[in-house]
Amino acid sequence: MIPGIYFTATIILLVIALIAYMFRVLREYERGVIFLLGRFYKVKGPGLIIVIPIIQQMVRVDLRTIVMDVPTQDVISRDNVSVKVNAVVYFRVVDPEKAIIQVEHFYEATSQLSQTTLRSVLGQHELDTMLTSRDKLNAHIQGILDQQTDAWGIKVSNVEIKHVDLDESMIRAIAKQAEAERVRRAKVIHAEGEYEAAEQLLNAAKRLSEQPEAIQLRYLQTLTEIAGEKSSTIVFPLPMDILHGITAHKKL
């Protein structure tokens, strides 16, 4: 009699456990990929769903955006400079069915693909491009990853290169290059200023040659400026046309 009671209680507990196992609750950002006897059945969720034990199996999939750090990669740039680069990738699952069926462990697959793509893309560019055009490189890498992960039901929304680390010798070389560039720009600006000043002086000389009276006015202005200074001796250049007038008057 007692063994029969134990058997009945065991059956009741098993039934209760199976019923409790049938009911699953999926959060708003979760989906359940249901397999019926090993074959894909449907995607369920969110909310309360029923999974028939033994006959059906469920795999949970998180639809939230995943922030994945790409480990530091050794990259040789197009101009043969060795750098260490790391990045961060933002992606999310948009098709749970593909993410479970088309690829094994979609997170690891996306991580490996991100590492190889980062090395491949950066290796096609020079060091200056890596340091000054990160936005373009980010967009290029994001486009490649998004295209290749589309078959896995994954959307890569953004890629950001975080650090480009150089060795000490390369940092010193870049500093020397920057200093040389500043010196070059200073010389160019100085030369452009001299050129513009020469043009203005040439224009002024042409204008004065066209109006002889302007030369005399300029002499008088210069004399006024010199007289305003604290000087005991003033050397004033006399125009040649005035001398010619004086000598002509004496001859008469």
Cross-strand pairs, 176: none
Strands (E), the chain: 23-26, 30-36, 39-44, 47-50, 56-62, 66-76, 82-93, 154-165
Residues 153/93, Cβ–Cβ less than 8 Å: yes
As a whole number of angstroms, the distance between CA 83 and CA 85 comes to 6
Per-residue confidence band for 128, with pLDDT thresholds at 50, 70 and 90: confident
DSSP for residue 238: P
Does this model's pTM top 0.75? My answer is no
As a whole number of angstroms, the distance between CA 101 and CA 34 comes to 11
CA 109, chain centre distance (Å):
24
Task: State both tokens at 93.
Answer: 């699952």
Residues 91/66, Cβ–Cβ less than 8 Å: yes
Cα distance between the two ends of the chain? 164
Task: State both tokens at 180.
Answer: 């040389």
Average pLDDT for 178-186: 78
**pLDDT value of position 17:** 78
DSSP 3-state assignment of 50?
Answer: strand
Residues 75/123, Cβ–Cβ less than 8 Å: yes
At 72-111, the pLDDT tens digits run 999 988 888 889 999 999 999 999 999 999 999 999 999 9
| Exposed e or buried b per residue across 222-251, where buried means at least 16 C-beta atoms within 10 angstroms of its C-beta | eeeeeeeeeeeeeeeeeeeeeeeeeeeeee
Query: What's the mean per-residue pLDDT of the chain?
Result: 83
CATH number of this structure's domain 66-166, picked from the four choices 3.40.50.300, 3.30.70.20, 3.30.230.70, 3.30.479.30 = 3.30.479.30
**pLDDT value of position 82:** 87
Residues of the chain with pLDDT > 70: what percent?
A: 77
The structural domains of the chain, with segments of one domain joined by +, span 2-62, 66-166, 211-252
Q: Which residue has the higher pLDDT, 151 or 128?
A: 151
How far apart, in Å, are the Cα atoms of 176 and each of 163, 165, 169, 189? 22, 18, 11, 20
Residues 34/58, Cβ–Cβ less than 8 Å: yes
As a whole number of angstroms, the distance between CA 108 and CA 235 comes to 89
**pLDDT value of position 100:** 95
Average pLDDT for 48-56: 89
At 134-175, the pLDDT tens digits run 999 999 999 999 999 999 999 999 999 998 888 776 666 666
pLDDT at 214 over 70: no
